[in-house]
Amino acid sequence: MKVTPIRSFRSSVGTVQLDATDMAILSILQDNGRITNSRLALDVDLSESACFNRVRRLEQAKVIEGYRAVISQRALGSFITVLADVTLESHKHHEHSRFERIVMEIPEIVECTATSGQFDYRLKVVAVDMDDYMRLMDDLSERHDRIGQFFSNVVMKTVKHRPNFIRGADDNGEAEL
């Protein structure tokens, strides 16, 4: 398949080139991962087989990493979300790797980002209540004894949550992020 690239990047499987149609497919799928191939093909003006092949190529290139259900935290009951900024005492690579391995083992830590600036990491923690959160942080501190400090910010309200970042293509066929 010949693709007129508007975006090119390296992935674990080589160089991937995306055109306006690929970006449109990604834009639609990030908002509706359950769309049928026939509807997706109609929306991006492709035959069903061409659309299917493009989606498969995007999956194989790891541009599409998977499909998930978005679960309403509110519908499941009362939880708190805390953003915790963490600084490690040591900036040695093995200490950071150890911290990241420990974080991966704690399911209540739903997101962890390494950051620049004042803190080394920002954690997003979902806990039953403040006691549960403190138990989780105590557990983390015991398992990694080189945590220098952490600052907790309880989320009062989520104003905007949009994990999707591709808006498709503009009128000129250029990708918009």
CA distance 55 to 22: 8
Tokens encoding 134 = 């403190």
Q: Confidence band (pLDDT; 50, 70, 90) for 1?
A: very low
Tens digits of residue pLDDT in 3-35? 555 666 665 556 788 899 999 999 999 989 999
**Four-CA torsion 116, 117, 119, 121, nearest 10 degrees:** -20
Tens digits of residue pLDDT in 36-89? 999 999 999 999 999 999 999 999 999 999 998 888 888 888 899 999 999 999
Same domain for 38 and 79, yes or no, is: no
Same domain for 57 and 90, yes or no, is: no
Q: Does 161 reside within a domain?
A: no
Same domain for 58 and 30, yes or no, is: yes
Q: Does 134 reside within a domain?
A: yes
**How many residues are given for the chain?**
177
pTM score: 0.76
Q: Does 166 reside within a domain?
A: no
Residue range of the domain that includes 147: 74-154
Structural domain count of the chain: 2
Q: Which phi and psi (to 5°) does residue 159 adopt?
A: -80, -40
Same domain for 129 and 64, yes or no, is: no
CA distance 98 to 121: 13
pLDDT of residue 161 exceeding 50, the answer is yes
